[in-house]
């Protein structure tokens, strides 16, 4: 029984007394506290008629007095001998009859699976209840309690404490819902193990490639001279001076041969060019005697070709000796 001490008796710590019929008055055996003040009392119901008295701390001044029926302030005990009968997708819950009148009690049944975030609740008059829609493949948690009808049988809303939670799946009681988790088969375990190994190897290969690139960027690889200068180690047994002398002679000889070849080619080109020029000039000079004087003058004026050195040029009765630096314009 509670009396809201902070609201009804602010700043006072009170004393609670109760009496059944004409029995002696008894002080509260167990107080309920709220912020350090006596706010309620727990005691057993013994007889239907009850008188209560609330006094000050010293018990000299009575602050509240009332007579009432105990049946309207009963908090039921948890249900006893609870059984669950699972058939197909239906579950039937039963419990033994309480000592008090069962017409004032309701049986509340709650359940949830591991996929539910909140309890699902069903209520039925005491002391049997049936519900359906349960999945045989799922594991459920069950719990029940008794509740007094309000306001028919109680002036306050009282319900018993919840009974022990039990775990069920397809009509079988389990230790916990973790028991319905099927272990992985050996084949799946082996497959997962191989995948993990391949993944580790792949990561290591990538790391190795990255590490080699990193090493090359920081410390470039110095080439081994024995693979570049093969003849130094195979023909001269690493004698650098001997290999250098031979290599230098070979390079000078190759350079001289190349220069000679280039000189020959260049000289041939110059001679061929001179032959072409002389041939063309002679051909034109040979054509001059056969020309008429007027045609010759026009031809000479248009061409203005310099004669070759040591050539004799005749014009009517005049003769001219020409060298490389002279030419005649008419």
Q: pLDDT tier at 285 (50, 70, 90 boundaries)?
A: very low
H-helix or E-strand containing 65? strand 62-69
Section 199-225 average pLDDT: 78
**pLDDT (0 to 100) of residue 255:** 55
Percent above pLDDT 70 for the chain: 64
Q: pLDDT tier at 188 (50, 70, 90 boundaries)?
A: confident
Q: pLDDT tier at 90 (50, 70, 90 boundaries)?
A: very high
**Which domains are delineated in the chain?**
5-73 (2.60.40.10), 83-180 (2.60.40.10), 288-322 (no CATH)
Q: pLDDT tier at 180 (50, 70, 90 boundaries)?
A: low
Q: For 67-80, what is each residue's pLDDT tens digit? A: 887 767 777 888 99
Radius of gyration of the chain (CA): 63
Q: CA 123 to CA 89: how far, in whole Å?
A: 18
Q: CA 83 to CA 128: how far, in whole Å?
A: 10
232 within 8 A of 244, measured Cβ to Cβ: no
Is the pLDDT score of 83 beyond 90?
yes
Within 10 angstroms of residue 130's Cβ, the number of other Cβ atoms is 13
**pLDDT (0 to 100) of residue 84:** 93
């Amino acid at each position: 029984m509670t009396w809201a001490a902070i609201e009804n008796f602010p700043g006072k710590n009170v004393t609670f007394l109760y009496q059944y019929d004409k029995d002696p008055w008894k002080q509260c055996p167990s107080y309920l506290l709220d912020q350090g003040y006596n706010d309620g009392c727990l005691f057993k119901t013994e007889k239907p008629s009850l008188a209560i008295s609330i006094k000050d701390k010293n018990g000299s001044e009575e602050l509240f007095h009332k007579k009432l029926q105990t049946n309207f302030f009963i908090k039921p005990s948890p249900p006893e001998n609870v059984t669950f009968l699972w058939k197909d997708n239906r579950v039937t819950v039963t419990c033994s009859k309480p000592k008090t009148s069962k017409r004032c009690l309701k049986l509340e049944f709650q359940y949830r699976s591991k996929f539910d975030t909140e309890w699902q609740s069903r209520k039925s008059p005491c002391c049997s209840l049936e519900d359906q829609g349960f999945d045989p493949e799922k594991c459920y948690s069950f719990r029940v309690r008794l509740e007094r009808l309000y306001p028919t049988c109680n002036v306050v809303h009282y319900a018993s404490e919840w009974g022990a939670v039990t775990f069920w799946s397809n009509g079988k009681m389990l230790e916990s819902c973790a028991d319905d988790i099927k272990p992985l088969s050996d084949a799946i375990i082996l497959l997962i193990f191989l995948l993990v190994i391949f993944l580790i190897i792949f990561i290591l290969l990538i790391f190795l490639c990255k590490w080699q690139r990193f090493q090359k960027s920081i410390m470039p690889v110095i080439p081994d001279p024995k693979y570049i200068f093969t003849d130094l180690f195979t023909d001269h047994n690493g004698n650098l001076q001997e290999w250098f002398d031979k290599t230098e002679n070979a390079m000078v000889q190759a350079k001289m041969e190349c220069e000679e070849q280039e000189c020959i080619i260049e000289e041939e080109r110059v001679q061929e060019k001179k032959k072409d020029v002389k041939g063309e000039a002679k051909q034109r000079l040979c054509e001059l005697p056969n020309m008429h004087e007027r045609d010759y003058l026009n031809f000479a004026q248009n061409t203005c070709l310099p004669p070759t050195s040591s050539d004799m040029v005749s014009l009517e009765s005049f003769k001219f000796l020409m060298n490389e630096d002279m030419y005649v314009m008419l």
